Amino acid sequence: MEIDFLKETTLSEPLKQSSLLLFNLNCTKKMNEKVKDLLNIRYIKLHFEIRFLYDSHLCAYKPLDLRGGMGYMLMDKYCIADKECGSCAFSQECVMKRVLYAQPEIRPFFVKEGKRDEGSCGLVIECEDDRTGFSAGNELHFNILLFGKTIAYFRQILDAFTDLGKKGFGPDKAYFEVTRVTNTLGQDLYRDGIVFREHFNICMVRDYVDYRLKKKMGLRAVFHAPAELWVRKKLITEFDPVVIFSSIARRIYVLNLFEGNDIDMMPIGRDGKDDFIDVPEMSGQHAWVEKNWRYSTRTKMEYPMLGIKGYIDFAALTEDQYALLLAGELIHIGKDTRFGYGRYTMVDNRRP
């Protein structure tokens, strides 16, 4: 059975073959086995559909409120220490932390011993519907990506959102009901209060990339959500191929450690000799900085979240370079991926 991993993306005819184009878009592509071995990462993509019960107002960038509301409901339902995380003797077993702050099985080389990364490897929320006003009966769709061991918490996440609909989320308490949750194939995982376990299909990142390599694509990466990419503690304001490929390599490295695969981070560069992956040249770009505000219920403060949006065009791509870019499509890149940051897709930059 052919799985339509990205059925919502429609692309034009492939680019014409030329001597300068290292990547042949008209043939069936195969990844280097070494690259493929790095993509043995489990995931499941959950597509949520919710229906608002009353007229509602939400912020434009919704993953912030969705994740915050889910976290609050997980803590409200499973906490046994009155939400006093610092003094809880069971903090390592906390369901909320295992979902929202899941850590790699193996410590990354850039995290000091005894320290924890306050981010999460295992969960990404995607929602790019920027409408702020909803009437009663309107629907909102969003995706939740679960990686590795976080997949086991599907039921807790589903329960958190059904409970959140009764409590309301966002600054004006939007009430809703979860009407449906589907998998990548569009099969029901949840509908009318029933969970369909037979449709709980776990995928691999390498299978997603294999499938996408068979599709007709171009050389443009379009960023649908801001990408928070830092170099020497400074947020970049223009796309840089080295930074993009380094971010993909870092994310693949961390997700492998999250799965318990003890690997080294692949070298990225432009010398064409010792590097595992050579970085392609850029032929053009258009970028701007976008700011969103995150409110923390723990600190009662707002924090700015910056990132760049737009697109970058590559002059040419080898098969392995394309494979990594396609993996990045799915797993997101940069910081704050748990809030949906760093999502892009590869499209044809020569569409009329």
Reported as a single tens digit per residue, the pLDDT across 42-57 is 999 999 999 999 999 9
Number of domains comprising the chain: 2
- Judge if 194 and 54 occupy the same domain: yes
Band of pLDDT at residue 121, cut at 50, 70 and 90? confident
Residue pointed to by tokens 């695969």: 261
**What CATH number did the domain enclosing 301 receive?**
3.30.70.1900
- Judge if 229 and 334 occupy the same domain: yes
* Residues 284 and 313 sit within 8 Å (Cβ to Cβ): yes
Last-in-domain residue among 199, 224, 252: 199
Q: Does 94 map to a domain?
A: yes
- Judge if 150 and 222 occupy the same domain: no
d(CA 315, CA 278): 13
Query: Taking Cα atoms as reference points, which of 190, 185, 141, 205 lies closest to residue 7?
Result: 185
- pLDDT at res. 8: 37
- pLDDT at res. 298: 65
Last-in-domain residue among 164, 199, 234: 199
Instruction: Report whether pLDDT(103) > 90.
Output: no
- pLDDT at res. 19: 26
Q: Both ends of the chain: CA-CA distance in Å?
A: 33
Band of pLDDT at residue 349, cut at 50, 70 and 90? confident
pLDDT digits (tens, 9 = 90+) for 324-346: 999 999 999 999 999 999 999 99
To the nearest 10 degrees (0 to 180), the angle between helices 319-331 and 205-213 is: 120
Q: Does 5 map to a domain?
A: no
Query: Of residues 179 and 216, which shows the higher confidence score?
Result: 179
- Judge if 73 and 189 occupy the same domain: yes
Least confident of 131-135, 227-231, 265-269, 275-279: 275-279
Residue pointed to by tokens 């769709």: 141
Query: Of residues 298 and 79, which shows the higher confidence score?
Result: 79
d(CA 41, CA 32): 16
Query: Of residues 84 and 10, which shows the higher confidence score?
Result: 84
d(CA 294, CA 342): 16
Query: Taking Cα atoms as reference points, which of 178, 228, 63 lies closest to residue 130?
Result: 63
Query: Of residues 13 and 265, which shows the higher confidence score?
Result: 265
* Residues 228 and 289 sit within 8 Å (Cβ to Cβ): no
- Judge if 187 and 297 occupy the same domain: no
Residue pointed to by tokens 């690259």: 35
Instruction: Report whether pLDDT(16) > 50.
Output: no
Least confident of 59-73, 107-121, 127-141, 287-301: 107-121
Instruction: Report whether pLDDT(9) > 70.
Output: no
- pLDDT at res. 280: 93
- Judge if 219 and 325 occupy the same domain: yes
- pTM of the model as a whole: 0.86
d(CA 350, CA 217): 10
* Residues 292 and 64 sit within 8 Å (Cβ to Cβ): yes
Q: Does 13 map to a domain?
A: no
Q: What is the DSSP letter of 288?
A: E
- pLDDT at res. 142: 97
Angle at 245 (CA atoms; ends 217, 339), nearest 5 degrees? 85
| Domain enclosing residue 164, as ranges | 43-199
Q: What is the mean pLDDT of the chain?
A: 85
- Judge if 195 and 65 occupy the same domain: yes
- Judge if 218 and 158 occupy the same domain: no
- Judge if 53 and 155 occupy the same domain: yes
Q: Does 72 map to a domain?
A: yes
Band of pLDDT at residue 83, cut at 50, 70 and 90? low
Q: Does 324 map to a domain?
A: yes
Last-in-domain residue among 144, 179, 199: 199
For the residues 61-65, what does the mean pLDDT come to? 93
pLDDT digits (tens, 9 = 90+) for 232-277: 889 999 999 999 999 999 999 999 999 999 999 888 877 655 556 7
- pLDDT at res. 352: 42
- Which runs of consecutive H residues, i.e. helices, occur in the chain? 33-37, 63-78, 95-100, 154-167, 205-213, 241-258, 319-331
Half-sphere exposure of 278 (CA within 13 A, CB side): 12
Q: Does 300 map to a domain?
A: yes
- Judge if 179 and 223 occupy the same domain: no
- pLDDT at res. 307: 96
- Judge if 191 and 253 occupy the same domain: no
d(CA 119, CA 170): 22
- Judge if 56 and 188 occupy the same domain: yes
For the residues 298-322, what does the mean pLDDT come to? 89
Give the max Cα distance, the chain: 65
d(CA 254, CA 265): 8
Q: Does 273 map to a domain?
A: yes
Q: Does 11 map to a domain?
A: no
d(CA 49, CA 162): 11
- pLDDT at res. 10: 31
